[in-house]
Structure formats: C-alpha cells, structure tokens
C-alpha cells in the first residue's frame, strides 16, 4: 500500500463532516469472469464440426461392421430351397 497525503486545509473555517478524495494509480488489476459451456469447450478443442464428424464416423462404422457381419453369416448359413425338383414317387 502506498501512503497518501490528503493535503486537507480548512481555509474557510467551515467544519466539514466528510471529505472525499479520488486518486488514480498507474498500476491496476483487471479481472474478468468468463463462463464456458460445452459447445465453447468443443470449439476450443478442435471445432464443433470436427467433433460431429468424428461422432458420425464412429456410429456409421459400428453400423457398417454389424451389416458386414450379418451379410457374411447369411451367406455362410444360407439354406437353398429347390422348388423345381420333381420327386419320383
């Protein structure tokens, strides 16, 4: 803290109840409060669009893998029905 001299002089002989001095200092601190939400956080990391593309790639890859496995299993365990074969009685 810096000591200040107020240089108050009661020249007119009036008795003041309150005396107010305003001073400015060259050094000051500036504070700012910033509230971030999820979209701002994702934008800071790499962008919202890139995050949505990444989520889409994971979902589509999962579905594509399941469809591929289903197609392979269907071809392996396929039962062929012969409807045009004549049986001898």
Q: Which residue has the higher pLDDT, 83 or 32?
A: 32
Per the domain annotation, does 46 fall within a domain? yes
In sequence order, the 6+-apart residues with CB closer than 8 A to the CB of 4 are: 21, 23
How many domains is the chain built from? Answer: 1
Quote the CA–CA distance of 65 and 84 in Å, as a whole number: 36
Position 12 scores a pLDDT of 66
Classify residue 19: in a domain, yes or no: no
Tell whether the model's pLDDT for residue 1 goes beyond 60. Answer: no
Give per-residue pLDDT as tens, 22-66. 777 778 788 898 888 888 887 777 777 788 899 999 999 999 999
The answer as to whether 10 is a domain residue is no
Q: What pLDDT digit, counting tens, does each position of 52-61 carry?
A: 899 999 999 9
**23 is a domain residue:** no
- Establish if 21 belongs to a structural domain: no
Separation CA 51–CA 62 (nearest Å): 17
């Amino acid at each position: 803290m810096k000591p200040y001299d107020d240089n108050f002089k009661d020249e007119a002989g009036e008795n003041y109840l309150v005396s107010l001095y305003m001073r400015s200092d060259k050094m000051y601190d500036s504070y700012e409060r910033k509230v971030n939400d999820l979209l701002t956080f994702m934008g800071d990391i790499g962008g919202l669009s890139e995050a949505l593309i990444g989520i889409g790639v994971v979902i589509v890859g999962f579905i594509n893998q399941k469809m591929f496995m289903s197609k392979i299993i269907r071809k392996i365990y396929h039962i062929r029905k012969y409807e045009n074969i004549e049986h001898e009685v």
